[in-house]
């Protein structure tokens, strides 16, 4: 009995200690941070971390707007969404003195258009979106987006497309050579017609299933993120990720400091923690993208470091970031997407 009391007292003390260090409330993508890294942060700081997850930038924005702002300390929006949240006044800023590891950010990711000079955000992971093809099914040329939008006979009816408006419409625009956020009627109509004509060649729409359908063989080609394609390859699918000649989509997920963060101090500690090369590398080893932090190489698994998905060949067409269109223009793109899905 006495021992039971001692144990209970010890637990109470530990709980008290954790309480004293406080909490951290993270709003994050599903399956995007290794649990060991969270445990490491908790052990180092005594801060208790809780993580809620979301599955799209838009649903995260919607739920923060619907009253969750003020409950979370940090979130992980993509580049264009950082801009949107910043414009809506949903982000807090930090000073370089607070963010002591700011210097670890790779130079090309420091002064980004969506957060000039990194005042509210730090890089989390970045990667690209194009498509992968199962080379057992189709050994031919895969250097064009026509694989998705005007596929060869072997791939017809065996293509999975991301269930994500932004990515589908941007890749479609690249294929037709149309600028993003176009308001030109002819161009928008051409995009609409091209997508409708391509749809019968597609087997399914799916984002979180994009890797699984390639591994299982349900799809022989699929629009996919580079890290996801690397995972498909690691799981045994003979897939090759393409950097098409028309271009591809680049994206960067960033950890942002939210406005009215209940534990601002701890949020800064966590962001500094994620900028330590060893920790950034742990995320990359888990997610198979790239980190945006300098000095991670010694900590990376060889398979990740040397993957063809993360090391595009020289001379490819550079990728483009998604732009945030204004409300008036976005309406047209929403209409095209509805037309496509109905």
Give Cβ neighbours of residue 252 (< 8 Å, ≥ 6 apart).
78, 79, 109, 112, 123, 124, 125, 126, 292, 321
Q: Nearest to residue 44, comparing CAs of 222, 230, 279?
A: 279
Q: What track of x and - describes contact with other proteins for positions 124 through 163 (by CB under 8 A)? A: ---------------------------------x-----x
Q: Closest approach of Cβ 334 to other proteins, in Å? A: 5
For residue 256, state whether it binds other proteins (rule: CB under 8 A). no
Size of the site for other proteins (CB under 8 A): 40
For the chain, list the strands marked E by DSSP. Answer: 23-29, 48-54, 74-75, 121-134, 159-161, 202-205, 221-225, 239-242, 249-257, 320-321
Q: Given the rule CB under 8 A, which of 20-28, 110-118, 307-315, 330-338 is the region that contacts other proteins?
A: 330-338
CB 268 → other proteins: shortest distance, Å? Answer: 28
Hey, which residues between 24 and 53 contact other proteins (CB under 8 A)? none
Residue 71 in the binding site for other proteins (CB under 8 A):
no
Site residues (CB under 8 A) for other proteins, limited to 175-194: 185, 188-189, 192
Task: Give, in degrees to the nearest 5, the angle at Cα 23 between 17 and 26.
Answer: 150
List the one residue from 58, 98, 246, 265 that touches other proteins (CB under 8 A): 58
Q: Which of 147, 198, 145 is nearest to 176 (CA)?
A: 145
Q: Does 239 bind other proteins (CB under 8 A)?
A: no
**Is position 61 an interface residue for other proteins (rule: CB under 8 A)?**
yes
Under rule CB under 8 A, residue 201 binds other proteins: no
238 binds other proteins (CB under 8 A): no
Cβ(307)–Cβ(230) below 8 Å: yes
Describe the chain by its helix, strand, coil percentages, rounded to 5.
45, 20, 35
Binding site for other proteins (CB under 8 A): 56-59, 61-62, 65-66, 84, 157, 163-166, 185, 188-189, 192, 199, 202-206, 209, 216-218, 327, 330-332, 334-339, 341-342
């Amino acid at each position: 009995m006495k021992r039971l009391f001692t144990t209970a007292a010890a637990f109470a003390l530990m709980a008290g200690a954790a309480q004293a260090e406080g909490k951290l409330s993270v709003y994050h993508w599903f399956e995007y941070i290794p649990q060991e890294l969270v445990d490491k942060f908790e052990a180092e700081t005594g801060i208790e971390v809780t993580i809620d997850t979301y599955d799209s930038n838009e649903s995260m924005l919607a739920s923060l707007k619907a009253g969750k702002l003020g409950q979370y300390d940090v979130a992980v929006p993509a580049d264009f969404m950082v801009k949107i949240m910043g414009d809506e006044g949903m982000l807090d800023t930090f000073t370089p003195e607070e963010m002591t590891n700011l210097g670890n950010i790779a130079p090309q990711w420091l002064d980004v258009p969506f957060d000039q000079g990194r005042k509210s955000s730090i890089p989390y992971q970045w990667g690209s979106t194009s498509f992968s093809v199962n080379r057992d099914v189709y050994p031919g040329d895969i250097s064009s987006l026509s694989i998705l939008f005007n596929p060869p006979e072997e791939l017809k009816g065996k293509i999975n497309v991301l269930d994500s408006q932004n990515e589908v419409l941007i890749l479609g625009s690249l294929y037709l050579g149309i600028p993003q956020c176009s308001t030109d009627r002819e161009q928008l109509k051409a995009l609409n017609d091209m997508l409708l004509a391509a749809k019968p060649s597609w087997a399914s729409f799916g984002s979180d299933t994009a890797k699984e359908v390639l591994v299982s063989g349900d799809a022989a080609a699929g629009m996919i993120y580079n890290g996801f394609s690397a995972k498909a390859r690691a799981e045994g699918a003979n897939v090759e990720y393409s950097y098409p000649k028309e271009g591809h989509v680049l994206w960067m997920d960033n950890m942002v400091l939210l406005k009215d963060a209940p534990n601002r101090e701890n949020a800064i500690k966590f962001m500094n923690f994620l900028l330590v090369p060893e920790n950034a590398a742990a995320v990359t080893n888990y997610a198979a993208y790239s980190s945006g932090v300098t000095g991670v190489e010694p900590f990376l698994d060889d398979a990740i470091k040397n993957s063809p998905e993360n090391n595009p060949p020289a001379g490819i067409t550079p990728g483009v970031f998604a732009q945030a269109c204004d409300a008036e223009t976005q309406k047209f793109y929403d209409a095209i997407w509805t037309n496509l899905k109905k």
